[in-house]
Structure 1
Amino acid sequence: MTLQFWTVSGAPSPWRAALGMAFKGLDYDVHLLSAGQKEHKSDAYLSINPRGTVPTLKEGDMTLGQSIAILAWLDRAYPAAPLFGETPQDAGLIWQRTMEIFDYLPGATSAVLSPIFFQGAGEATNDLKIASETLRSELTHLTDILARHRFLSGARPGAADAVAFPHVRLIQRAMETKPQIMQDLGLADLNALSPEIADWVHRVEALPNVAQTFPPHWADAA
């Protein structure tokens, strides 16, 4: 039975779920919703996900609408290439890293990128400078892990990588498309900021099926 997946281009939550499927080599049908046209709030979509959020994953009579729950379900439904490791010790450590990233990195990223991408911020205000310091601190946590492991989940990609990658790649996107303000915030270049994170990004991007998870509108803008 084919997996059905509803997403919005560039939204981190569905991106992390898509990465979980990519890491497992799973095929799925994509239903791309337009946030601008509020398709995620349409009656048709609300009949599938009453919260009107993305992602939604559906297989048969199973429907899930929360990205971390989707990653956990994928490991039970498709045990090969586990996202949460092979052993109880692996599972505990990966769950801890996954939830620490989930609890701290999205907010730190949004505090910097939302004003730049969605509010037209063009200068490094005091609030943005403070937010950038918090974001750099969170990136330091990732750097410390990647100084010891190839992936945030350990020797192979897993749930922690799926949660972190969209946010890091959005930061890199801002470096590419909004270079001046990102430079003013001390976030000009990922290689200079953290070679460990930059190398990890390349490793994740080189994995099979990861390219198809990227936001379609990025290709349209190229």
Structure 2
Amino acid sequence: MNAHAPPKADYRAIQRHYEETLALFGPNVHGVDWPNMDDLETRFRIMLSGAPRGQEPVRLLDVGCGVGLLFDHLAAHERDWAWTYAGLDISAAMVEQARARHPYARFMVRDLIAAPELGEPFDFAVLNGVFTVKRDLSQAQMEDFVQTLLAAVWRNCRVGLAFNVISVHLDWRREDLFHWPMDAATAFATRELSSQVMIRADYGLPEYTTFVYREAHAG
């Protein structure tokens, strides 16, 4: 895998966007800029369907954890398999709210682009909604950010990761959102991460989820 230099664009503009929504709506689904909880639950279900299962607890890393809504989903709906959870976000404001909501869960404030090595292995990473809003970043700048962060997350995953982005196969397009062609996502993943890639776009939302696995764990 090729090393990625830090993005030239100000990717913290995305952080500021979510901190603005948090300040407006509080620590809930709207505070992390999702329109409703049902669609968010669908995204969680799809992403976790790609996580490994086994006798030992699966170590999950929630990148861009926000206020910890994935932990809510895990506790309520994912009781038939063993897992441990760690949430990570670049925003101290988000993590403060996550810790207040779930004082016994683990949350970290971390900029993985600036410091990619976590010093501990995780089995599977989830990046839900991290690559949805691009604000004033250009398409090229956003792609640079996406690829750099994915490469950093990949360094800490023993089995694989999942991320979602908005599809280009829609009858609408928003300039403040990040639409990424599936072939571009696949080309990056196979070139920089692993040849074991799977895409799901069968769950009724205007996006797709990409799963990437290390060769030793594929299948």
Instruction: Verify same fold: TM over 0.5.
Output: no
Structure with the greater alpha carbon radius of gyration: 1
Q: What's the TM-score once normalised by structure 1's chain length? A: 0.33
**1 or 2, which has the higher strand percentage?**
2
